[in-house]
């Protein structure tokens, strides 16, 4: 394993460091998460410059409000169609509670994981029709339910789809589709939960009706963001911060009672992840998610307590079954599969709702992709897959789709089903494929923020790190490494839990626990540890401790964060994707030159492994910001498309964009989008628009971040020498930049 220190030698800007109170560690941590200046700090950390999203700005929301308003007036029955995980449970609860307070005739349905599976079901749609439902509102599902939505429409029901999942090539034929992924890349609400999407609808509905929203529902939104691993940035970060304030002293009866049953006094993010989410998910895995919805709808303490006790019992059953499956799966690996590069494990009676959790544990422990399979009631084989960074499990399964009834997911996790008679062939071919595809010398790389000696782990440091909260997906908790650590004292509890005191070169001692590590004694061993810092308040304690994420007893290489540049100019993109695994393609420019693969632009904030520069970033500033945001191990220089800054070519392409948006978007385009296409600064887009408007090609107006063009049939040229001189000089400088970057090799040397 390699441990890489993120931006080790990067100097934190002075204004950001001052905002962090001079705390260099916090400054580096925030910088690593895209907070690069005081403006970023005020928007994302303090929130003082953040402008919250207004749901009424999204046209489908207004359309939905009109439809629901009519249903309320006509006293039509409305059905909320949710999902069985925490995101679906909380979304369903918000819609039901919000509509009931408007005196709506509302019922709800959450699917059975085993008999219905994820999403809408045509038989359920039929049942809702028989119950005289006139409108279905989905939440956390529906965006791929084309047949089911059409069936509901054929039966005369109106359908409003609210969902946050990835949109395919088409959308269902619903009356309204509310999915913020319909908005352009870079919009602050694209990355949000299904529950937040439902919350926006209810918030807008109350505003539309002139009603006051007495329950802000942000506690449920915060639960969904943690449980569904939504990136905590942009609007989701804002909602999460507000929701966590609610969760610290919860008012919702069902949540308060559940915390009491668990024994929690104040909810932390860790409590949501490790105490609340597993319980709410467990009831959908073991019984019916309806129990969890009823908990949030409960209006008496007796009812809430009975439901909370049932949910807690389901979680206990889940853990017992999970441990049994884990032990059986591990024995299968050790006796039959240890030499395989992918672990395909089948247990006929393994619980369908649990195998995904176990697949994740096995994958993490053996650092190998794992597919856990069991037998469904109808005799088919169903399964869950979890993978490592080196193998995109969704793409891998697609290569063996001839054996599968269906599959879905993403690079790290997937679900699948197949006929039992295909199981052996599927397993053998998948294992053969992994033997060829997965390298023998694959070495996991762990990214950390800081190499930290123990004497710096103090109350002051812990309080400093809290300034950056909330942490979560896309804004990960600070991660540290300390080498040459010795295990000074150790107590093993229940045969697997190691309660330890550690000491490092500074002679400073610190306490920690290794859960479920195994029976082997570790006393006096030397190791390298990767960890985060937390405060232990259990049973009245108030002690800063560390939570170990990796403990390594072999020699570990700790390296600086240095990007490797590889030149693949004049090489077809398809060949590059064969040569390098886990590639992300950067492209900005006209749609006509866009590669036939998924791409990102300069606004992408997630970290990537290998970044292919299919197009040349418009300047070094954009390139450097892209590298800082994506933090790739490797950058592959390709430049299959380079921007055209010759005056005639540039003008022709500029006018082509305007003609296209005039035909398709009423002549309106965002400045950011236009500059991405033309690969110029936003200011130059406006300057050049003024120049061509003076020439008489179009009328032009600018409203905040949007431009509007109206093409003229008759050109009446008025030469503006000043603007023409600026434009000519700018385009010449850009053309020179392209020539230098396309032909240069010095920039890419390590």
Higher per-residue pLDDT: 592 or 73? 73
Higher per-residue pLDDT: 457 or 582? 457
Span 2-49+446-560: which CATH code?
Answer: 2.40.50.460
63-77 pLDDT, tens per residue? Answer: 999 999 999 999 999
Alpha carbon distances (Å) from 270 to 233, 323, 431, 472, 473: 18, 22, 37, 10, 13
Q: With a cut of 50, say whether residue 155 has pLDDT above it.
A: yes
Q: From CA 419, how far away is CA 380, in angstroms rounded? A: 5
Higher per-residue pLDDT: 566 or 72? 72
- Sequence ranges of the domains in the chain: 2-49+446-560, 55-221, 249-319, 342-437, 564-642, 647-741
Span 342-437: which CATH code?
Answer: 3.10.310.30
485-532 pLDDT, tens per residue? Answer: 999 999 998 888 899 999 999 999 999 998 878 788 899 999 999 999
> Span 575-591, mean pLDDT?
89
Q: From CA 680, how far away is CA 727, in angstroms rounded? A: 11
Q: From CA 649, how far away is CA 643, in angstroms rounded? A: 10
Q: From CA 691, how far away is CA 717, in angstroms rounded? A: 10
Per-residue confidence (pLDDT) for residue 118, from 0 to 100: 76
Per-residue confidence (pLDDT) for residue 302, from 0 to 100: 96
> Span 431-441, mean pLDDT?
81
Contacts 24+ apart (CB under 8 A), 72-75: 72/102, 72/103, 72/104, 72/209, 74/134, 75/105
In the chain, % of residues over pLDDT 70: 97
Q: From CA 651, how far away is CA 644, in angstroms rounded? A: 10
Burial class (CB in 10 A: 0-12, 13-18, 19+), 635: buried
55-221: what fold?
A: inorganic pyrophosphatase (n-terminal core) (3.90.1640)
Return the SS3 of 672: helix
267-314 pLDDT, tens per residue? Answer: 888 889 889 999 999 998 888 999 999 999 999 999 999 999 999 999
The radius of gyration computed from the CA coordinates of the chain, to the nearest angstrom, equals: 28
**Tokens standing for 171?**
């959308």
| Domain 647-741 classification at class level | mainly alpha
Split at pLDDT 50, 70, 90, the class of 441 is low
Q: From CA 403, how far away is CA 409, in angstroms rounded? A: 17
691-741 pLDDT, tens per residue? Answer: 999 888 899 898 878 899 998 877 776 777 888 888 898 899 888 888 888
442-494 pLDDT, tens per residue? Answer: 667 788 999 999 999 999 999 999 999 999 888 999 999 999 999 999 999 88
pTM (two decimals):
0.77
> Span 176-197, mean pLDDT?
90
Per-residue confidence (pLDDT) for residue 750, from 0 to 100: 40
Q: From CA 677, how far away is CA 392, in angstroms rounded? A: 30
Return the SS3 of 231: coil
């Amino acid at each position: 394993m390699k441990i890489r220190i993120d931006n080790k030698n990067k100097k934190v800007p002075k204004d950001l460091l001052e905002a962090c109170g001079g705390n260099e560690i916090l400054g580096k941590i925030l910088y690593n998460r895209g907070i690069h200046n005081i403006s970023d700090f005020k928007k994302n950390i303090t929130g003082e410059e953040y402008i919250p999203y207004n749901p009424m700005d999204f046209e489908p929301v207004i359309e939905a409000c009109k439809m629901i308003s009519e249903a309320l007036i006509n006293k039509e029955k409305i059905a909320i169609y949710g999902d069985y995980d925490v995101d679906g449970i909380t979304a369903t609860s918000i819609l039901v509670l919000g509509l009931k307070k408007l005196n709506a005739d509302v019922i709800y349905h959450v699917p059975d994981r085993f008999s219905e599976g994820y999403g809408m079901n045509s038989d359920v749609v039929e049942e809702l029709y028989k119950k005289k439902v006139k409108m279905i509102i989905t939440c956390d599902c529906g965006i791929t339910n084309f047949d089911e939505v059409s069936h509901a429409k054929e039966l005369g029901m109106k359908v409003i789809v609210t969902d946050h999942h990835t949109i395919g090539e088409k959308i269902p034929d619903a009356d309204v589709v509310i999915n913020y992924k319909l908005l352009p890349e870079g919009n602050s609400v694209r990355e949000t939960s299904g529950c937040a999407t439902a919350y926006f609808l209810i918030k807008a509905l109350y505003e539309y009706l002139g009603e006051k929203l007495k329950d802000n529902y942000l506690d449920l939104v915060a639960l969904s963001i943690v449980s569904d691993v939504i990136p905590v940035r942009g609007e989701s970060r804002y909602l999460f911060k507000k929701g966590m304030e609610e969760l610290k002293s919860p008012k919702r009866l069902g949540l308060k009672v559940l915390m009491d049953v668990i024994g929690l006094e104040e909810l932390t993010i860790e409590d949501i992840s490790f105490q609340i989410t597993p319980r709410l998910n467990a009831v959908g895995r073991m019984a019916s998610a309806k129990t969890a919805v009823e908990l949030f709808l409960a209006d008496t303490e007796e009812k809430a307590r009975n439901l909370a006790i049932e949910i807690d019992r389901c979680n206990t059953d889940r853990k017992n079954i999970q441990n049994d499956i884990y032990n059986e799966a591990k024995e299968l690996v050790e006796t039959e599969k240890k030499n395989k590069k992918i672990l395909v494990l089948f247990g006929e009676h393994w619980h369908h709702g649990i195998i995904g959790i176990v697949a994740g544990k096995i994958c993490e422990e053996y650092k190998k992709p794992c597919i856990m399979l069991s037998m469904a009631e109808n005799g088919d084989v169903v399964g869950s897959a979890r993978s490592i960074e080196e193998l995109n499990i969704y793409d891998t399964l697609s290569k063996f789709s001839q054996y599968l009834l269906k599959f879905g997911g993403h690079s790290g996790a997937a679900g699948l089903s197949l006929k039992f008679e295909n199981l052996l062939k599927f397993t053998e071919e998948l294992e053969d494929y992994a033997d060829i595809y997965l390298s023998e010398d694959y070495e996991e790389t762990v990214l950390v923020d800081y190499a930290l000696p123990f004497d710096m782990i103090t109350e002051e440091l812990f309080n400093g790190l809290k300034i950056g909260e909330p942490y979560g997906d896309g804004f990960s908790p600070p991660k540290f490494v300390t080498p040459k650590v010795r295990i000074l004292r150790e107590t093993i509890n229940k045969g697997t839990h190691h309660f330890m005191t550690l000491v490092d070169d500074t002679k400073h001692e610190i306490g920690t626990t290794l859960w479920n590590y195994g029976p082997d004694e570790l006393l006096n061993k030397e190791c390298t540890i990767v960890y985060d810092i937390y405060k232990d308040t259990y049973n009245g304690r108030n002690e800063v401790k560390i939570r170990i994420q990796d403990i390594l007893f072999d020699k570990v290489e700790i390296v600086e964060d240095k990007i490797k540049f590889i030149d693949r100019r004049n090489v077809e993109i398809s060949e590059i994707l064969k040569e390098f695994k886990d590639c992300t393609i950067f492209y900005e420019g006209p749609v006509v030159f866009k590669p036939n693969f998924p791409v990102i632009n300069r606004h992408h904030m997630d970290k990537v492994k290998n970044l292919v520069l299919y197009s040349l970033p418009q300047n070094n500033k954009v390139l450097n910001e892209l590298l800082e945001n994506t933090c790739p191990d490797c950058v592959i220089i390709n430049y299959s498309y380079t921007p055209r800054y010759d005056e005639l070519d540039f003008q022709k392409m500029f006018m082509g964009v305007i003609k296209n948006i005039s035909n398709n978007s009423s002549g309106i385009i965002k400045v950011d989008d236009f500059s991405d296409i033309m690969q110029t600064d936003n200011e130059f887009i406006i300057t050049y628009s003024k120049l061509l408007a003076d020439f008489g090609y179009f009328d032009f107006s600018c409203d905040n971040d949007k431009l509007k063009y109206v093409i003229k049939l008759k050109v009446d040229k008025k030469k503006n020498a000043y603007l023409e001189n600026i434009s000519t000089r700018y385009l010449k400088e850009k053309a020179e930049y392209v020539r230098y970057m396309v032909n240069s090799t010095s920039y890419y040397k390590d």
